[in-house]
Amino acid sequence: MSMSEPLFDPLAWLILLPLAWATLAFVLGPGRGAWPAIAGLATQCWLALDLAQKVGAGGTAAHVVGGWGAPLGIDLAVDGLSAAMLLLTQAVALPLAIYARSYFKPGDPAGTWFWPLTGFLIAGLNALFVSADLFNLYVTLELVGLAAVGLVAAGGGAQQVAAALRYLFATLVGSGAYLLGVALIYGAYGTVSIATLLPLVTDDAPRLAWIAGGLMVAGLMLKTALFPFHFWLPPAHGGAPAPVSALLSALVVKASFYLILRLWLGPLQAVLPAFAWLMALLGAAAIFWGSWQAIRAVKLKRLIAYSTVAQLGYLFLIFPLLAAPGAIHAGVMQVFAHGLAKAGMFAAAGVLIKATGQDTVAGLAGAVERLPVTMFAFGLAGMTLMGLPPSSGFLAKWQIIEAALAQGHWIIAAVVLAGGLLAAVYVLRVLRQAFLMAPASATLAPVPRTLEWSAFALAAASVLLGLRGVELMQLPGAVT
């Protein structure tokens, strides 16, 4: 079987497969569809790996939907950045799917439509990462956003529904702003194809292009939950069932970040760098504010959600550094590090909550004794978030600091180092509590081992990736 045949184009199948298993899961009915999902995701992992190898070796991949070609039709294109995001998405989703299969008991209202919604979510993400058309990107954004809101709200009580509503409004206003930006771009240039726009948007772009860039980025910032637009994230990610929180924190917020980066490096490169320091400033504020809130949080999942707010901040520190190489590498590494670690951490938190029956940090006393694997997973994920070696988080931190020093922006290096210490405080709050002697009265509910080990696999991957940075770094080297 030759991969060059259009029939087996991995690019197309990365979108078709999840759409197919999502629909199948829907037709199969409530709570059904785990196995098609796992089989599909396993195949997708293989496809993404294949694509990443091809792109990493210097190739590119494109798919001209409908055969028309831009600007009339819609093009799909994969460069190093897209390939990296695709790889991360499948690599995180597969263990989470295995996790979720054990997590949702039959009849759990939160799991009724989990599989089809997740399938559409993954399809939306994959479609987003490969799309080279600004309007098509809008549709994928909405697909991802609505699926994510549905997953947050599923089977929840008042707090969860309120969180979902807040999330829905944030995501809708975000994509609304993005859409207006697209409308202005179309008005100014007559096309929404990224490749076609690339040579057209120059330094003397009309004012409308600047407004469009500002609107699109602002909308996407809202969807990425960059400080001070983070208000919706902690209740949504903290309130959802653990597998959903993991998917959302690890992947969904990264999608809009990816899109900002894509616009920044691509069609709007003449316009957006004017906002570089604003982004970094907000990123730094996110690191401090998110960490501070995580340090104060009473609930475990709320703590992890605020940690996401903080960790997303690092991604925005790279924007003033994008003029020189190294920054994208750092960004990709951080996306991977946080994606894997946060998925692992939420998964571990899900186990802890199931076992202790409560979502508080205080309730963890004795967890190391009773659930060593899970706490080990939590610790490994925490290592990555703190940026301790040899984790991938450490490499990301190293790369950001070095890129910052190379360009004389030592302040960014200082923020990264301080952020690592703050992360240590909130991670250790949890570990410390877990290491305490168990109160004699505490009884823990039994938890399926699959849950423990899939959390462990994700967390361990986030650490071990720190030893395989060379391969991964071939991808951002191939950004076009």
Partner 1 sequence: MSTGFVFALAGAVLFSLGVAGVVLIGHLLRRILAFNLMGSGAFLVLVGLAQRQDVADPVPQAMVLTGIVVAVAATALALALVRKLHALTGQLGLPGDVDE
Partner 2 sequence: MKRRVLVAFVLTLALAFVFLLAGAMLDLGPTTIDLRAPVAAHLAQSGVTHPVTAVLLNYRGYDTLLEIAVLLVALLALLAVVGDAPVPPSRAAHPVLQTLARLATPLMIVVAVYLLWAGAFRPGGAFQAGAVLAAAAVLLHLVGLQPGWSRPRLGLRIGLAAGFVLFLAVATGLLTQGSLLQYPPAAAGVLILLIESGLTVSLALILASLFLFLSREEGA
Partner 3 sequence: MTSHELLPLAVLASSLLPGLIIFALPEAWIGVRTFLNLFAAIAKLGLVALLLAGVAAGEEYGVRYAVLPGLELALKADALGMLFITLSAILWLFTTLYAIGYLEGAPHRSRFFGFFSLCVTATMGIAMAANLFTFFIFYELLTLSTFPLVVHRGTDKAMKGGTIYLAYTLIGGTALLAGIVWLHHLLGHTEFAHAGIAAALGPEYAGQLKIIFLLLIAGVGVKAAIVPLHGWLPQAMVAPAPVSALLHAVAVVKAGAFGIVRIVYEVYGVEFAQSLDLLYPLAIFAAVTILWGSFRALFQDDLKKRLAYSTVSQVSYIVLGVALFGPIGTIGGLVHLVHQGIMKITLFFCAGNFAETLGIHKVSEMDGAGRRMPLTTLAFSIGALGMMGAPLTAGAVSKAWLMDGATAARMDWAIWVLWTSSLLNAAYFLPILWRAWLRPVPAAWPEEHIARRGWRETALLLLLPPLFTAAATLTAGMLADSEATPLAWARLIAEREYIGQGRP
The residue ranges that bind partner 2 (CB under 8 A) are 6-7, 9, 12, 16, 19-20, 22-23, 26-27, 29-30, 63-68, 71-74, 109, 112-113, 116-117, 120, 123-124, 127, 135-136, 139-140, 142-143, 146-147, 149-151, 153-155, 161, 164, 184, 187-191, 196, 200, 206-208, 210-211
Residues forming beta bridges with residue 75, ordered by sequence position = 64
When the beta carbons of 68 and 277 are compared against partner 1, the nearer one is 68
Specify the 3-state DSSP secondary structure of 371: coil
Give the integer Cα–Cα distance in Å for 212 and 263: 11
In this structure, what is the dihedral angle of CA atoms 178, 179, 180, 183, given to the nearest 10 degrees? 130
Contact 145, 223 (CB under 8 A): yes
CB of 423 vs partner 2, minimal distance in Å: 33
Applying CB under 8 A, does 173 fall inside the site for partner 1? yes
Name all contacts of 197-203 with Cβ < 8 Å and 24+ positions apart: 197/134, 197/266, 197/267, 198/266, 198/267, 201/267, 201/268, 201/269, 201/270, 201/271, 202/270, 203/270
Question: Which residue do the tokens 């967890």 mark?
Answer: 367
Contact 263, 175 (CB under 8 A): no
Applying CB under 8 A, does 240 fall inside the site for partner 1? no
245 binds, among partner 3, partner 2, partner 1, none (CB under 5 to 8 A by kind): none
Give the integer Cα–Cα distance in Å for 72 and 171: 28
CB proximity list for 119: less than 8 A, separation 6 or greater? 18, 19, 21, 22, 23, 25, 33, 37, 40
63 binds, among partner 3, partner 2, partner 1, none (CB under 5 to 8 A by kind): partner 2
From the list 347, 250, 252, 335, the residue with the least C-alpha distance to 300 is 347
Binding residues for partner 3 restricted to 350-409, rule: CB under 8 A: 368-369, 372, 376, 383, 386, 388-390, 394-395, 397-399, 401-402, 405-406
**First and final CA of the chain: distance in angstroms?**
29
The helix-helix angle for 327-356 and 392-406 (nearest 10°) equals 150
Give the integer Cα–Cα distance in Å for 263 and 191: 15
Segment lying near partner 3 (by CB under 8 A), choices 119-127, 192-200, 297-305, 429-437: 429-437
Q: Which two tokens stand for residue 183?
A: 């409308």
CB of 244 vs partner 1, minimal distance in Å: 15
When the beta carbons of 74 and 380 are compared against partner 2, the nearer one is 74
302 binds, among partner 2, partner 1, partner 3, none (CB under 5 to 8 A by kind): partner 1
Applying CB under 8 A, does 138 fall inside the site for partner 1? yes
470 binds, among partner 3, partner 1, partner 2, none (CB under 5 to 8 A by kind): partner 3
Q: Which of 125, 179, 247, 312 binds partner 1 (CB under 8 A)?
A: 179
When the beta carbons of 135 and 435 are compared against partner 3, the nearer one is 435
Applying CB under 8 A, does 58 fall inside the site for partner 1? no
CB of 57 vs partner 3, minimal distance in Å: 15
Contact 80, 477 (CB under 8 A): yes
Residues forming beta bridges with residue 133, ordered by sequence position = 193
CA gyration radius for the chain? 21
235 binds, among partner 1, partner 3, partner 2, none (CB under 5 to 8 A by kind): partner 1
7 binds, among partner 2, partner 3, partner 1, none (CB under 5 to 8 A by kind): partner 2
Residues forming beta bridges with residue 61, ordered by sequence position = 78
CB of 437 vs partner 3, minimal distance in Å: 4
Count of beta carbons in the 10 Å neighbourhood of residue 371: 24
CB proximity list for 150: less than 8 A, separation 6 or greater? 113, 117, 164
When the beta carbons of 88 and 386 are compared against partner 3, the nearer one is 386
- Convert residues 117-136 into a mask of x (bound to partner 1 by CB under 8 A) and - (unbound): ------------------x-
Applying CB under 8 A, does 464 fall inside the site for partner 3? no
- Binding site residues, partner 1, CB under 8 A: 135, 138-139, 142, 146, 149-150, 153, 157-159, 161-162, 164-166, 168-169, 172-173, 176-177, 179-180, 182-184, 186-187, 190, 231, 234-235, 293, 296-299, 302
Binding residues vs partner 3 (CB under 8 A):
368-369, 372, 376, 383, 386, 388-390, 394-395, 397-399, 401-402, 405-406, 413, 417, 420-421, 424, 428, 432, 435-437, 466-470, 473
